[in-house]
Amino acid sequence: MGNACSNNLGIPPAKGPNAVGCTDFMMDHTTQGTFFRLYYPCQESESAEKPDWIPCREYFNGLADFMKINRSLSEKIFNYLFGSFKIPAYLDAPFKTNEKCPVVIFSHGLGAFRTLYSAICAELASQGFIVASVEHRDESASATYYFREKCESERRDEPLPKTSVSAPDNLVEEWMYYRALQHGESEFPLRNKQHLFIILSLAVPFSQQNSMDLCRIAVIGHSFGGATVIEALCKEVKFKCGVALDAWMFPIDEEIFPRVKQPIFFINSEKFQWAGNISRMKKLESALIQRKMITIRGTVHQSFPDFTFLTGNWIGKLMKLKGDIDPEIAMDLSNKATLAFLQRHLGLEKDFNQWDPLIDGKDDNLIPGTNVTVLQSAI
């Protein structure tokens, strides 16, 4: 894959003191297993390569299905626009093993997949976290794959090309794509069921990883993944806090709200939120547990995934992938506020508390709370 129009566009490199490595893990090859891209502090390596941002063409097909456009046409367009971009991390680089690292589980938005938030995940890894970006296997990702056992006829054929996660000889790769609503189908039961499935996949079996500090685990997600953050905190006490990036609160059953006991940080865009969604966030406010909310001025819903860095100004605004703010400024604010919040609630001995004022919206590009007017009677 490759393109001719990348110019000066690209995912910004991480700013922390550590080089960043990444690798893919598939825990159980079936649809019931967990598949994720792991980002981690790594040793410097001259020979390590940076992986493609879009791992293979099937993900272009998945994006086309999600956007309801022709696959063959969109593959050419997507490949031209995005095919040569690399993730700012070294593939399979040696782990930096000087200390145990706090862990972040990242849950992507509806129609996304594991590589589309590499700017966020790589930045966290550069600051000393191990980050597992989980790819949803419930038909809420635009595309993903698993492996099934080969039938007898397939055993006689040539093996299929391997992806980044290699398969044993007795398995064959199967792709699953985004499932849109059927005509007349109600959305809540589907999305609620999907995000409950995701909760199970977030409980990644990390117990064998000696480099992970399993007493310090947080969950972060964007949009549909932001809803997953709330549910995950309710279902799994090992998550000490959560950061919900422009959360889409629709899939959550409100009856769980009183059972969420951990701190939550809502980081919202200025152009996406509406009164009904904000009112659901505000129902999680607590006098005893820290619940914070800020809004980044000039941002849109897609200011959090990597797309915002990979399109020029006019295309980005036409496709609502860019807001009015410089995307690097917006991402920097979001990442620094997140790091400060994680230090506060994971008990880290870092210098992230220098960004504590951002948690309260103290910056010219931040709004404390929300820009959306919500009637008290709606809360």
Catalytic one of 223, 269, 303, 334: 223
Q: For residue 4, what pLDDT is reported?
A: 42
Query: Looking at residues 83-104, what average pLDDT do you find?
Result: 92
Residue 47 pLDDT > 60? yes
Catalytic residue chosen out of the listed positions 52, 65, 138, 246: 246
Q: What does the pLDDT average to over 155-159?
A: 61
Q: Please confirm, yes or no, whether 223 is among the known catalytic residues.
A: yes
Domain-by-domain residue ranges, the chain? 20-51+86-142+178-368
Strand pairing report for 291-296 and 264-269: parallel
| pLDDT band with cut points at 50, 70 and 90 for residue 19 | very high
Beta bridge partners of 296: 269, 366
Q: Is 222 a catalytic residue?
A: no
Write down the mean pLDDT value for the chain: 88
Q: Is 301 a catalytic residue?
A: yes
Question: Which position has the higher pLDDT, 349 or 183?
Answer: 349
Q: What residues have CB less than 8 Å from 16, skipping those under 6 apart?
A: 123, 125, 126, 127, 128
Partners of residue 266 on adjacent β-strands: 244, 293
Which residues on adjacent β-strands are paired with residue 107? 134, 221
Question: Mean per-residue pLDDT for 57-71?
Answer: 93
Domain 20-51+86-142+178-368 belongs to what topology? Rossmann fold (3.40.50)
Coil vs helix vs strand at 279: helix
Tracing tokens 């086309």 back to the chain, one arrives at 64
H or E segment at 124?
A: helix 118-126
User: pTM of the prediction?
Assistant: 0.90
What was the pLDDT predicted at 334? 98
Region of poorest pLDDT, from 30-44, 82-96, 114-128, 189-203: 189-203
Q: Does the pLDDT value for residue 216 go beyond 60?
A: yes
Looking at residue 111, what is its pLDDT? Answer: 94
Least Cα distance to 3 among 105, 77, 88, 61 occurs for 77
The token duo for 256 is 């769980």
Per cent of the chain over pLDDT 70 is 87
The 3-state DSSP class for residue 118 equals helix
pLDDT at 379: 60
From 301, 303, 306, 345, the catalytic residue: 301
